Amino acid sequence: MAEERGGLFPRVRLRRLRRPGIRDLVRETRPAASDFIYPLFVDATTDTPRPVESMPGVSRLPVEAAVREAGAALEDGVRAFLLFGVPDRKDERGSASWAEDGIVQRAVRRLREEFPDAVLITDVCLCEYTSHGHCGLIEGDRVLNDPTLELLARQAVSHAQAGAQIVAPSDMMDGRVGAIRGALDREGLEDVAILSYAAKYASTFYGPFRDAADSSPGFGDRRGYQMDPANGDEALREVALDVAEGADLVMIKPALGYLDVVYRVKETFGLPTVAYSVSGEYAMIRAATERGWIDGSAAMWEAAVAIRRAGADLVVTYAARELARRARAEGRGAPA
């Protein structure tokens, strides 16, 4: 008999629950395949897939290639897609973003036609469509908030009219959720939901995305509208305002460096909460994997489990297909 050493040991031994088989039984966080939202870059400038060098495994896709990729992802268990457009023209106002024959609008119609049950979410912003690369209209070196709202609303309505069930404003202009909600309702699109990028930080980890979408700001940066990474309390104010304006789901972005914010937002508001594991997070794991420094599949899964454990209900991730396959395998009892 082991001598008493105070406390509850040796009667209590937590390792008893880490034995093979038991460990799986008591697992607390179990992502499902449908928890992963798959971002797709739909590109009007190419007839063939264009790999994104800084994001191994990710390509900018012409519409029909995006349809094929979505079909394969649905086979893996993915249920929702987040569409980003790469237009064949850009101008000061980002007018291609609300064009009826715009690249995202065309992709949504084709995906809706091919996969009626898929959930199509569209990113609403100007940065991919403006010649200056900012998320709003500019005057001199200022990004204008209020005049931008009407353009974002037009874009969101055009996505909804094409068949998107959810529109996701990622611009970080004040008042955009209310402006979009009002425009959708006036157009009889009251069933279309809003996923607000409510707590979106001015992060270094967006670099690869900006390569992929040709969306880097032509001057300055986005700190005049995206949040300071040092601020957690402010995120709760952002979410509260977006919920009051009509957000149905809320997003924190990036994810891994912001799990405290994910936790606080879910605990405070209890709404469907999405965390976006951004391009830089994805690229870091892929790069370390390519150098043989880390087990990339295990790292992607561990990151996804951590984001879900922190309170996110859904995870936007470029690794959605492999994570969905892993979730299905675990659900069938494969060893974790």
How many residues touch ligand PB1 under the rule CB under 6 A: the total is: 12
Distance between CA atoms of residues 38 and 206, nearest Å: 16
Count of CB atoms within 10 A of residue 17's CB?
Answer: 11
Closest approach of ligand PB1 to the CB of residue 192, in Å:
19
CA–CA–CA angle 122, 128, 131 (5° rounding): 150
Contact set for ligand PB1, span 204-223 (CB under 6 A): 206, 209-210, 215, 222
Among candidate residues 112, 153, 123, the one with its CA nearest the CA of residue 40:
123
What kind and span of H or E run contains 243? Answer: helix 233-245
Closest approach of ligand PB1 to the CB of residue 112, in Å:
22
Contact set for ligand PB1, span 272-291 (CB under 6 A): 278-279
Closest approach of ligand PB1 to the CB of residue 100, in Å:
22
Helix 146-162, helix 176-186: angle, nearest 10: 40
Contact set for ligand PB1, span 219-278 (CB under 6 A): 222, 278
Task: Say whether 153 sits in a helix, a strand or coil.
Answer: helix
What b/e sequence results for 147-175 when a residue is b if at least 16 CB atoms lie within 10 Å of its CB, and e otherwise? ebbebbbbbbbbbbbbbbbbbbbbbbbee
Nearer to ligand PB1, 58 or 183 (CB): 58
253 is catalytic: yes
317 sits near ligand PB1 (criterion: CB under 6 A): no
SS3 of 3-24: the string is CCCCCCCCCCCHHHHHCCCHHH
Closest approach of ligand PB1 to the CB of residue 205, in Å:
6
Distance between CA atoms of residues 219 and 303, nearest Å: 33
Closest approach of ligand PB1 to the CB of residue 224, in Å:
12
Count of CB atoms within 10 A of residue 45's CB?
Answer: 13
String marking each residue 92-131 x if it binds ligand PB1 according to CB under 6 A:
-------------------------------x-x-x----
CA distances from 277 to 208, 280, 283, 330 (A): 12, 8, 10, 21
Nearer to ligand PB1, 65 or 168 (CB): 168
* Residue in 90, 159, 253, 266 annotated catalytic: 253
| Cβ-Cβ contacts under 8 Å for 164 (sequence gap 6 or more) | 83, 108, 120, 121, 122, 192
Contact set for ligand PB1, span 142-181 (CB under 6 A): 170
200 is catalytic: yes
Closest approach of ligand PB1 to the CB of residue 158, in Å:
17
Among 61, 63, 135, 192, binds ligand PB1 (CB under 6 A): 135
Nearer to ligand PB1, 274 or 330 (CB): 274
User: What residues are labeled active site?
Assistant: 200, 253
Q: Which residues bind ligand PB1 (CB under 6 A)?
A: 123, 125, 127, 135, 170, 206, 209-210, 215, 222, 278-279
